[in-house]
Structure 1
Amino acid sequence: MAVVQVLDRHALGIQSPPHQPPGRIPAVSDDASTTTTHAHTNPHPSPSVASITGTMSSNELAPSFAPFFGMELIEAGAGAAYGTAKAGIGIAGIGTYRPDLIMKSLIPIVMSGILAVYSLVISVLIASDIKPPPNNTYSLYAGFMHMAAGLSVGLSGLAAGYAIGIVGDAGVRSFMSQSRIFVGMVLILIFAEVLGLYGLIVALILNTRASG
């Protein structure tokens, strides 16, 4: 019966599969079809840095970091603080010997405080040009103009505060011994204060250019 089946297979042209030894896995031919795998994709991908910054700035001329350029105007407050502290040391020194001269010696303190008002004016003008994200029209040009305005009023206020502090400390100590030095001390303080005023004028012009 087995011989008849073998003859029938040869007559029909059917080849028997090759004999495989037990315990071995048949090799896969080269022309075998390969299966394709699909990578698992996250249906809710996390937002990238580019997409976040894209929502904050419309183009390259309006980056999200442009408003930070106007922060240099805090240096005017640092100059006012130094001038107040330095002149206050001299006033405290003469207060124990001549308490009647304390009121006249407060002029350097008042002039140092005016420097902080200069930076306050410029900071209010700069803040008025910064709009919320829906109306984001703050360009890089405006940011650089505000940086220049902040640098002009900040550095000039820092220099003026340093000069007022040095002159006030030495002036009030000398005023205790010689009252005639008071007029000269006030004139020196006025010219030191004008340095901060020059920076304020330049900052106002730059801020006007940035808005226009």
Structure 2
Amino acid sequence: MSSDLCPVYAPFFSAMGSTCAIAFTCIGASYGTAKSGVGVAAMSVLRPDQMMKCVVPVVMAGIIAIYGLVVSVLITSDLSLQMSLAQGFIQLGAGLAVGLAGLSAGFAIGIVGDAGVRGTAQQPRLFVGMILILIFAEVLGLYGLIVALVMNSKSQDMKSACF
């Protein structure tokens, strides 16, 4: 049964929200991991004793993908054949919120991580400053996760429009 409030294509937008959440956060996480990993490899040539300490940016970049995974699973668990268009659009927005925030956070972590670990190899006192900047970059992805979770919980109110 299809209506103006619940068209047959409404689940497509929800599925695209799930796709955007996981795809964009994984792109950000992979960029952050690759860029920071190159910095860690370059730093390890000069200071192999500090290699494990400087893997922090790589770990932080990987956390960004987890944010997208959480939102993607939550959106996917709400997918059904009968859903309102409003719910589909809200879930698309939730996926874009966490995805694009994760993409930008991953880029920031990659750039700061690369420069930070290379600088730490030359001046170990830079490590604390690098960690602080990485935390601020990670929080960008966390903001997207929070907004996506709030939006997804609000989309639950739109379920009753089709029944």
Q: Which has the higher contact order (CA 8 A, sep 6+)?
A: 2
Query: Does 1:183 pair with 2:128?
Result: yes
Q: Could you tell me which residue of structure 1 aligns to residue 160 of structure 2?
A: none
Task: Give the superposition deviation at 1:97.
Answer: 2.2
Task: Give the superposition deviation at 1:207.
Answer: 0.2
Q: Could you tell me which residue of structure 2 aligns to residue 119 of structure 1?
A: 68
Q: Could you tell me which residue of structure 2 aligns to residue 161 of structure 1?
A: 106
How far apart are the structure 1 equivalents of 2:78 and 2:87? 9
Pair member with larger Rg: 1
Counterparts of 1:33-112 in structure 2, within 5 Å, are 58-69=2-13, 70=17, 71-73=19-21, 74-112=23-61
TM norm structure 1: 0.69
TM norm structure 2: 0.89
How far apart are the structure 1 equivalents of 2:44 and 2:72? 36
How many residue pairs get aligned? The number is: 152
How far apart are the structure 2 equivalents of 1:64 and 1:102? 53
> Please, which runs of 5 or more residues in structure 2 have no aligned partner?
158-163
Moved over 4 A (4+): none
How far apart are the structure 2 equivalents of 1:118 and 1:64? 29
Task: Give the superposition deviation at 1:63.
Answer: 3.0
Aligned to 1:194, which of 139, 147, 150?
139
Q: Which has the higher helix share?
A: 2
Matched-pair identity in %: 58
Task: Give the superposition deviation at 1:143.
Answer: 0.7
Name the CA shift for 1:64/1:86 in 2 (closer, same or farther; >3 Å).
farther
How far apart are the structure 2 equivalents of 1:171 and 1:187? 11
Name the CA shift for 1:185/1:140 in 2 (closer, same or farther; >3 Å).
same
Task: Give the superposition deviation at 1:100.
Answer: 1.0
> Please, which runs of 5 or more residues in structure 1 have no aligned partner?
1-56
